[in-house]
Structures are given as C-alpha cells and as structure tokens.
Amino acid sequence: GWKDAISTTIINFNNEKMQITWAARELFPSENVSFSYTFDEGKHKVWKPCPTYLLDQDYNSGCLFEAEGPTLAISIRNSNGSEELFSKRLKSDFYIKPNRPENVTFFWKEDTVTVSCNKPERAVKCLRLEVQYKSKFDKDWQSRTSKCCSVGEQGFDPRKCYSFRVRLKRLVPYCNVVDYSSDWEAETFWMNGTLLDSCDDDIKSQSNTVIVLSCLLAVLLMILILLILLCKWQRLQKSVMPVIPDPKYIFADVFSDHNGNFQEWIDKTEHAMVRTKLEYEEPECIIEAESQQEDEKNSDKQGPQEKIFSFSGAAENNDPKAAQIACLMPTSNTIASFAGFQVLMNDDMYVML
C-alpha cells in the first residue's frame, strides 16, 4: 500500500502536454528512479520511457511528455527497471490546466467595463473567465468571475486608474479534481477608457503638477518678501543716510556756462541780482521844474558849491528836500535806515556820507 501513498503532482497542459513530478530526494534518496507511461487500455499496453526528465540535484524528479488520450497509466521503477516502486491509473482530463485567455478586449461605457476573450476550442462549459482589478488606492484585488468568455462590472470611477488582469479557470469538482487556473494574462492599466502604460504615470503627472504649483507659489512668495524688504531698506537708508544733493544739477549753469569756475559764476550772479533788484525798484521821483531852475541859477551865480543837509531833522519836519531825496530811495525802510546820515548835494548828484 505504500506505493499508492507516494505523492505526485499531475498537470495536463490544455490536453497538449503532461507533466508528472515527485519528491525524488525524499521518496528515493538512495537511487535514481526511472519513469514510464502509457495511454493504452486493456491487456496490450505499450509502455513508453520518459522522453524528457526533470532533474533535482541530478536526480530524476519528474517527466514531461505528450498528451495522447483521456486515460493515463504511469509507473516509477528502480534505475534498471527491474522493480516497480510506484504505479497509478488516472483520467488525464481531470488534471487540465487551461491556457491563458486569447485576444482579451475591454469595452468601456460610462462606469461599466466589459471584458471578453476568444472561446477555446475544447471544454468551454468547464471554463470560467476571472477578472481582477484594483485602483491605485486599493491594496487588494477585486475579483469577478463569469461564464466563458465575458465579464461585466459597474462602478468604475473615471478619475481613477485601474489595473486589470484576466485568466481562465476550470470548474471543480465537475471538470477537474484539482483547482487549476491558467496563468494571468499580461496586466493592463486603464483610466476612463484610455489604455495607459502604467498607473504610476497618472501619479507622477499629479505629483508633477503639485510640484510645479508649489514652486510657483514659493517663487511668488519670495518675490513678495524681497519687495517688502526692499521698501523697508529704502526707508531705513533715507532715515540713516539721507540723500546728498548733487551740485551738478543744482548749479547746472556753473558747469555748463562757466566750466566749473565758481568765482566767475558768483560775480555774474551778483550782477544779475543787482539788475533784478533795479528792475523792481520804484520809479524815481521827478523834481519839480521850479526847484531845478532855482538850483541852476544859484549855481551859475555862485559857482559850484556844496550844500549839506541833515536828514535827521528834515525827515522829522517833513522837509521837501528830504522828501525829494527819499523819492530816490527804493523803499521807505531804506529811507529810515538813512535818517541819521548826511547827504552832500553837488549839482545833479547826491552823495551819501
């Protein structure tokens, strides 16, 4: 009975190839066993040696051969084939592992996705199509299974990126004694009906947008801070170090008209100020003709004489001569300043002493 208790793994690859493996190191540690098989029934069986051995540390641990029928008999013997160590009869159709689904298509309509594939040539009733998906926010896969070969699912968010993978499964226990499924079809990435290379692209695009906006905000904040500091620095500079006026602009005519000769510019400026004052002086009073004639007669008779008047008393007594001389002065304030002086009159000139 120990021969039937030996554990083996049997896989029928879509009724194309058979693979049978055993634990060589544990079951047969002392020798390298041989393997033979047959798909024939009845008394006239033809045993075939294993065409391709699978090795485990140079020990035969399995055999790979063509699938030729639904009934299989296997035999494991010692190295020279004289003693049978293990034998078994089985239905090869109960160990089928299907191939990957072919021509997988995705049909998107709003929030509904329909996944379909081509129907296999054999045993379609024993197959189920399984679809798994998850978004970038999900940790575990969501699974949906339906009859071969179409699966529909609702509730997909168009703003999320989803990963999809598809495979075919055999029904247990009606079709298989072992729960075998095909390998997963290549994983695909979808977002709102658009095929992407990876969901990382969507994450990177969002992260890049956040980075760009953050950089722009940082630059604007830096510019604002610099403007504030600049304004405060200008105020501090004006308060601590007031601006010194440039004489080049205040005394422009010194450099343009006199080539920087300051003394020449002062002299010219004084003459201009005197002329300006004279332009604004009150017109001289005209001495009455009678007074002038009397003075001319007296001068002819007596010759040139000097007449001395004192203004101190005349000004107070409203002397007419003082009033005439006062007419020659620019303002009344000037007359008051000369009230204590003496004036020498000689012909038509008045000399102030």
Closest CA to 109 of 71, 145, 154, 46: 154
Per-residue confidence (pLDDT) for residue 56, from 0 to 100 = 87
Contacts of 194 (CB under 8 A, 6+ apart): none
DSSP three-state, residue 303: coil
Per-residue confidence (pLDDT) for residue 289, from 0 to 100 = 44
Per-residue confidence (pLDDT) for residue 327, from 0 to 100 = 46
Give the range with max mean pLDDT: 3-7, 52-56, 196-200, 257-261: 52-56
Domain ranges of the chain: 8-97, 105-196
Q: To which H or E segment does residue 220 belong?
A: helix 199-240
> Are the CB atoms for 13 and 97 separated by under 8 Å?
yes
Per-residue confidence (pLDDT) for residue 116, from 0 to 100 = 93
Question: Using CA atoms, how far apart are residues 323 and 222, in angstroms rounded to an integer?
Answer: 79
Per-residue confidence (pLDDT) for residue 331, from 0 to 100 = 42
CATH T-level assignment (fold) for domain 8-97: Immunoglobulin-like (2.60.40)
Query: Could you check whether 8-97 and 105-196 share the same CATH topology?
Result: yes
The predicted-structure confidence for 93-121, as pLDDT tens digits, reads as follows 999 999 999 999 999 998 899 999 998 88
Quick one: average pLDDT of 136-140? 86
Q: Which residue has the higher pLDDT, 294 or 71?
A: 71
CA dihedral sign, ordered 187, 189, 192, 195: negative
The predicted-structure confidence for 49-86, as pLDDT tens digits, reads as follows 999 999 988 889 999 999 998 999 999 998 888 888 88
Local confidence band at 295 (pLDDT 50, 70, 90 cut-offs): low
Per-residue confidence (pLDDT) for residue 114, from 0 to 100 = 92
Burial grade of 332 (CB within 10 A; 0-12, 13-18, 19 or more): exposed
329-337 LR contacts (CB < 8 Å, sep 24+): 330/277, 330/281, 330/282, 331/282
Question: Using CA atoms, how far apart are residues 296 and 287, in angstroms rounded to an integer?
Answer: 13
Per-residue confidence (pLDDT) for residue 316, from 0 to 100 = 45
Quick one: average pLDDT of 269-281? 55
Q: In the predicted model, is pLDDT for residue 347 greater than 60?
A: no
Nearest-5° angle of CA 33, CA 54, CA 7?
Answer: 60
Question: Using CA atoms, how far apart are residues 274 and 269, in angstroms rounded to an integer?
Answer: 9
Q: In the predicted model, is pLDDT for residue 188 greater than 50?
A: yes
Q: How does the average pLDDT of the chain come out, rounded?
A: 75
To the nearest 5 percent, what fractions of the chain are helix, strand and coil?
35, 30, 35
DSSP three-state, residue 313: helix
Per-residue confidence (pLDDT) for residue 9, from 0 to 100 = 92
pTM over cut 0.85: no
Per-residue confidence (pLDDT) for residue 6, from 0 to 100 = 76
Question: Using CA atoms, how far apart are residues 184 and 173, in angstroms rounded to an integer?
Answer: 22
Quick one: average pLDDT of 264-287? 56
Torsion angle of the four alpha carbons 166, 171, 175, 181, in this order, in degrees rounded to the nearest 10: 40
Local confidence band at 2 (pLDDT 50, 70, 90 cut-offs): very low
Give the CATH number of domain 105-196.
Answer: 2.60.40.10
Q: For residue 221, which phi and psi values (nearest 5 degrees)?
A: -65, -40
Per-residue confidence (pLDDT) for residue 202, from 0 to 100 = 55
Per-residue confidence (pLDDT) for residue 103, from 0 to 100 = 92
Local confidence band at 267 (pLDDT 50, 70, 90 cut-offs): confident
The predicted-structure confidence for 153-165, as pLDDT tens digits, reads as follows 888 988 889 999 9
Burial grade of 135 (CB within 10 A; 0-12, 13-18, 19 or more): middle
